[in-house]
Structure 1
Amino acid sequence: MGSSIFVVFLPLALALVMFGLGLTLAFDDFARVLRYPKAALVALICQMVVLPTICLALVVLFGLEGALAVGMMLLVASPGGTSANLFSHLAGGDVALNITLTAINSVLAVFTMPIVVTLAIAGFMDEDASVGLQPAKFVQVVAIVLVPVAVGMWVRRLLPGWAEQMRKPVKVVSIAVLFLVIVAASIAEFDTFIDNIDRLGLIALLLSILSLSIGYFVPRLFAVDPRQAIASAMEIGIHNATLAIAVAVSVLGDETMAIPGAIYGIIMFFPATLAAVFLARQQKTVPQPSR
């Protein structure tokens, strides 16, 4: 599959995914954070500060350079994936908190992702620093991510009945898009994929395990409710590989940067599934607080 198909398909596919996310969100989702500020604050700090630091350490430890290193940082800067709510539900997490974190992360990532990627490009692709996210690129990220979400929220506000009917089909399409984007990115850079599966596979696995673990245990250290800690684990532990791939190809114009996201998008389902099964069993043995 050629890069021209990527340039046309990925922005449209990503816009559809983000529009579908917007259909599930309302302004109440942002206000809901006031009901559990500690859980949200701890999760956001883990997402925005702790994980990028850990990912940077993994990149340096495994000796990644150039576009692959930037691709890993782009991945960790992406917000929670579309599967986070599903895994949280299966694990017995507080899905309402997931919705809140998704809403906040999606907006914050529009601004934090360009910063992380710009610093990564300056650090790992110094000779090509000119390809960094200039103001025009920054605006492009905002347009490709935030605008479809805002439109989806606006449609939900105007046509709540239709938006509710479309939630399930749009979610199914979004999952299909995620799968197709991962496959397409892998095919487009198959040789690079094969050449780096040994190193990137292990990094992706470690990042997934560490993200899930930090997302659960750090909130528990701060006495966050177990169901909210599960929601945090899934939101932090499942990065939006689709967004990372789409930004790498359609905004940064580098298909090699998409390879870490493609590999992670395949590998992360295994630790996420195991974590969901384990946490669901744990929930059965923990008395549930009255709500």
Structure 2
Amino acid sequence: MTSSVVTTVFLPITVAVIMLGLGLSLTVGDFTRVARQPRAAVIALACQVLVLPALCLGLVLLFDLAPLLAVGMMLLAASPGGTTANIFSHLARGDVALNISLTAINSVLAVVTLPIVVNLALAVFLDDGGSADQAIGLQPAKMAQVVAIVLVPVAIGMWIRARYAGFAERMRRPVRAASIVVLVAVIGVAMFQERANIGGFLEQVGVVALLLSVLSLAIGYAVPRLSRVSHRQAIASSFEIGIHNATLAITIALSPALLNNSTMAIPAAVYGVVMFLPAGALCWYFARYRARETLVSSQTGVSTSDT
């Protein structure tokens, strides 16, 4: 991918709009709710922070990706979920309240965990360990950039909701719709600019990105269920863990103030397209499963609520 006004100016603005929309749907209670259902939240967060980077590292090594693409994949794996995960969870009849809590906490954790994962990836995959202008780790100036991209818009949105609840509720859906439209437009323009290279991008990382998506969704559901988390909470965990914020990863990769490397943005760009296939299929399956369960319950008079 090549840097342009679209990717270096409008993409960060898009991320800010998306994060603002997320903030409009959050309250302090979304953070404290975890204390009332700690098992589901702790398991999901452990998968997000520990299991996914290890899984991605295994895929990168298995497929022997080029160093810059390997770093891009690790950046993607370390990126938190977002509003898209919440939408899929709602359609699949998952526990959306848990999704919102996980999204809120993941957004905060990512400010610390994402730079750590990326810096380790730079040290492992680049011979020189990554130059000083590439590292996005604990350097105060670059840490501030990540905070500005991720947390500031969320905090503004939460403040608006706390101060003007009615206005925030009215604006939540329009802002979400606008963010999706702008996101599709920006990525569409970026893909058009790279139309001659799309085939090459898919060939380089398409299989790895698809596998990361499928395995993330599977782990996000299976691990909580094996830990005796309810079906609806496991659905929420699956989409929260399985749908990464590709827009944020692309922004960090392309930003001149952060990684400033277009090759590192390729995995997230490819993932942002291919992940809709497994996520959509899983959403359809869960929705059908729930509808069938409801039908059986109504016919037999026996409750089939989650355990």
- What residue is the counterpart of 1:288 in the other structure? 305
Q: For 2:215, give the aligned amino acid.
A: L
Q: Is the 8 A contact 1:185 1:255 kept in 2?
A: no
Q: For 1:254, give the aligned amino acid.
A: N
2:158 is aligned with 1:157: no
Q: For 2:253, give the aligned amino acid.
A: A
Secondary structure at the aligned position of 1:74 is classed as helix
Q: Give, in angstroms, the shift of residue 114 of structure 1.
A: 0.7
Q: Give, in angstroms, the shift of residue 213 of structure 1.
A: 0.3
> For residues 235 and 249 of structure 1, do their structure 2 counterparts lie closer, same or farther at Cα, with a shift above 3 Å needed?
same
2:261 is aligned with 1:259: no
Taking the TM superposition and a 5 Å limit, the aligned residue runs for 1:128-139 are 128-130=130-132, 131-133=134-136, 135=139, 136-139=141-144
Moved more, 177-186 or 241-250: 177-186
- What residue is the counterpart of 1:93 in the other structure? 94
2:212 is aligned with 1:207: yes
- What residue is the counterpart of 1:10 in the other structure? 11
Q: Give, in angstroms, the shift of residue 77 of structure 1.
A: 0.6
Taking the TM superposition and a 5 Å limit, the aligned residue runs for 1:52-63 are 52-63=53-64
Q: Is the 8 A contact 1:78 1:244 kept in 2?
A: yes
TM-score, length-scaled by structure 1:
0.94
Q: Is the 8 A contact 1:122 1:129 kept in 2?
A: no
Q: Give, in angstroms, the shift of residue 208 of structure 1.
A: 0.7
Q: Give, in angstroms, the shift of residue 281 of structure 1.
A: 2.4
> For residues 27 and 219 of structure 1, do their structure 2 counterparts lie closer, same or farther at Cα, with a shift above 3 Å needed?
same
Secondary structure at the aligned position of 2:83 is classed as coil
Q: Give, in angstroms, the shift of residue 89 of structure 1.
A: 1.1
Give, in whole Å, the separation in 1 of the partners of 2:108 and 2:24: 15
- 1:119-141 deviation digits (Å, cap 9, x = unpaired): 11111223343221151212211
Secondary structure at the aligned position of 1:83 is classed as helix
Give, in whole Å, the separation in 2 of the partners of 1:188 and 1:121: 27
2:196 is aligned with 1:194: no
Considering only aligned residues, what root-mean-square deviation do their CA atoms show, in Å? Answer: 1.7
Q: Is the 8 A contact 1:181 1:242 kept in 2?
A: no
Q: Is the 8 A contact 1:62 1:199 kept in 2?
A: no
Q: For 2:102, give the aligned amino acid.
A: L
Moved more, 225-234 or 175-184: 175-184
Taking the TM superposition and a 5 Å limit, the aligned residue runs for 1:7-156 are 7-127=8-128, 128-130=130-132, 131-133=134-136, 135=139, 136-156=141-161
Secondary structure at the aligned position of 1:11 is classed as helix
Q: Give, in angstroms, the shift of residue 184 of structure 1.
A: 3.7
Give, in whole Å, the separation in 1 of the partners of 2:121 and 2:131: 9
Q: For 1:216, give the aligned amino acid.
A: Y
Higher helix residue share: 1
Secondary structure at the aligned position of 2:20 is classed as helix
Structure 1: which 4+ aligned runs deviate by more than 6 Å?
Answer: none
Moved more, 11-20 or 201-210: 11-20
Q: For 1:288, give the aligned amino acid.
A: S
Q: For 1:132, give the aligned amino acid.
A: A
Give, in whole Å, the separation in 1 of the partners of 2:181 and 2:68: 26
Q: Give, in angstroms, the shift of residue 175 of structure 1.
A: 1.5
Moved more, 250-259 or 103-112: 250-259
Give, in whole Å, the separation in 2 of the partners of 1:9 and 1:94: 33
- What residue is the counterpart of 1:275 in the other structure? 282
How many residues matched? 290
Give, in whole Å, the separation in 2 of the partners of 1:86 and 1:11: 22
TM-score, length-scaled by structure 2:
0.89
Give, in whole Å, the separation in 2 of the partners of 1:226 and 1:170: 30
Q: Is the 8 A contact 1:81 1:241 kept in 2?
A: no
- 1:166-212 deviation digits (Å, cap 9, x = unpaired): 10011111212332343344344445543231231111110111011
Q: Is the 8 A contact 1:3 1:188 kept in 2?
A: no
Work out which of the two has the higher radius of gyration on C-alpha atoms and give 1 or 2. Answer: 2
- What residue is the counterpart of 1:220 in the other structure? 225
